[in-house]
Structure 1
Amino acid sequence: MIIKKWLKYSANLLKKNKILLYHLESVILLSFILKKSKSWIYGFCEKKINYTKLKILKDLLQRRIKGEPIAYILGFCEFWSLKIYVSPYVLIPRKDTEILVNIILQKINNNTTKILELGTGSGAIAIAIAFEYNFLNIIAIDICKNILNIAKYNAKKLNIYNITFLKSNWFSKLKNKKFDIIFSNPPYISIDKYFFLEKELKFEPFTSLISLKKGTKDLNYIISKSLKYLNNYGWLILEHGYKQGYIIKKMFQIKNFKNINQYTDIQGYNRVICGQKIIN
């Protein structure tokens, strides 16, 4: 089968199975298997695809039709213009989370030296920060060794050496350490909403998505404990669910955070909140 015909067949199949970006994903899969650029594929669309590669492509299409995210199929995705390797052990970094990176970068100044990430996953956020500011001392924690191995691999592939990856259940292994910025993109989906999620999300790790108490348990825990680990004038910066803005702001206020600000995602929903520890 030639490239042009396979692209048409693949796009029709993906479209039939309600894959939104059916044509783009067809090109991405073919580019991945042929190890050629998208422009090459369009320029040489009369080239023939050999039998072995057609068989592999068939398997990949079946995985995609079942809802497996294309990032897991490829083994990587792009975040902050960086190539981030992923597996089903970690959440796939999303475009909306780049807002969190932007806010963190805005809070970094000449006095910022130590930063903590709670729940690093693939390491994407910490790596994006370290990529922009290699003078920082960043600690990125997660509870699972397999997750940390992926984060370490990503940092190494991108020549990032100012992140210390630590196995810890939230703050449990940090003892008396203090930070200028603490940030997290913790689980914040409620268990009752899990069953209504799109099928792609159900391929991602349950424990990285779901939190008790209507999705606020982990957020509340981080807000409650962070003051102990923040330097004076330090910032806590969190991503949260698009309907949680009001309740999360109240949690910040109850713990006497100052200069509380909320930031919207590309759809206009409150998505990131920050607050500052100030003790006179």
Structure 2
Amino acid sequence: MIINQWLKYASNLLKQNKILTYQLESVILLSFVLKKSKSWIYGFNETKINLKQFKILQNFLKRRITGEPIAYLLGFCEFWSLKIYVSPYVLIPRKDTEILVNVVLKKINNNIEKILDLGTGSGAIALAIASKYNFLKITAVDISQQIINLAKYNAKKLYIKNINFLISNWFSNLKNNKFDIIISNPPYISDYEYHKLKKELKFEPIKSLISLNNGLSDLRYIISKSSEYLNNYGWLILEHGYKQGYILKKILKIENFKNISQYCDIQGYYRVICGQKI
């Protein structure tokens, strides 16, 4: 089979299985397997695909039509223009989370030095911030060695050295450390919402998605504990679900945070909230 034939075949198959970006994903998979650029794929579309390549591509298609995210097939994705390696142990970084990074970067000044990233996963948020400001001292924590190993691998591949990765269940292993900014994209989906999600999300780690008490349990815990680990005038910055902005603003006020601000995603929903310890 030649490239042009396979692209038509793969696009039709993905389209039939309701993959919206079926043409783009067909090219991405082929580019990955052939180790050629997208422009090469289009320019040499009469080139024959060998048997080994064809078998790999067929396996990818089989997995993709079950709903497995393309980032898990490839083993990486792009976040903040960085190549981030991922695995089924961690969430796939998403465009919406770049809003969180933007908010953090706007808070950085000469008084900001130490940052804590709670639930770092692949390390994407910490790595994006560290790639912008190498003078920062960033601590990034998550709950298992497998996750931390992946985040460390990403830092190594990106030549980023100003992040200290630690195993910690939220604040449990941080002792008496204090930070100027605490950031987190914690689990915030309710059990009810989880069962209505797209099938792609069902492949991602459930512990990184679902939180008790209508998705608010982890957010509440982080807000309640953050003051102990923030320096005076330090910031807590959180990503949250699109329906949770109002209640989180109330919780932050109850916990005596000031200068509370909210930020919308591209669809106009509140997605990030921050408050200052004063």
TM-score range, shorter chain: over 0.9
For residue 195 of structure 2, what is the aligned residue in structure 1?
Answer: 195
Distance of 2:17 and 2:238 partners within structure 1: 35
Distance of 2:46 and 2:195 partners within structure 1: 44
* Paired residues for 1:1-280 under 5 Å: 1-278=1-278
- Residues 1-52 of structure 1, C-alpha deviations (whole Å, 9 max, x = no match): 1111100000000000000000000000000000000000000011111111
The alpha carbon displacement at 1:247 in A equals: 0.6
Distance of 1:35 and 1:141 partners within structure 2: 34
| TM-score for the superposition, normalised by structure 1 | 0.99
The alignment partner of 2:199 has SS state of coil
The alignment partner of 1:95 has SS state of coil
Distance of 2:101 and 2:51 partners within structure 1: 44
The alpha carbon displacement at 1:129 in A equals: 0.4
Bigger drift between 44-53 and 62-71 goes to 44-53
Q: Give the AA of the match of 1:161.
A: K
Alignment: residue pair count: 278
| TM-score for the superposition, normalised by structure 2 | 0.99
- Residues 225-244 of structure 1, C-alpha deviations (whole Å, 9 max, x = no match): 00111000000000000111
Distance of 1:237 and 1:108 partners within structure 2: 12
The alpha carbon displacement at 1:266 in A equals: 0.8
Distance of 2:151 and 2:96 partners within structure 1: 20
The alignment partner of 2:33 has SS state of helix
Distance of 2:186 and 2:30 partners within structure 1: 34
Distance of 2:139 and 2:178 partners within structure 1: 11
Distance of 1:42 and 1:268 partners within structure 2: 37
Unaligned stretches of 5+ residues in structure 1: none
Q: Give the AA of the match of 1:47.
A: T
Q: CA RMSD in A?
A: 0.5
The alignment partner of 1:27 has SS state of helix
Distance of 1:101 and 1:169 partners within structure 2: 22
Q: Give the AA of the match of 1:109.
A: N
Paired-residue identity, %: 76
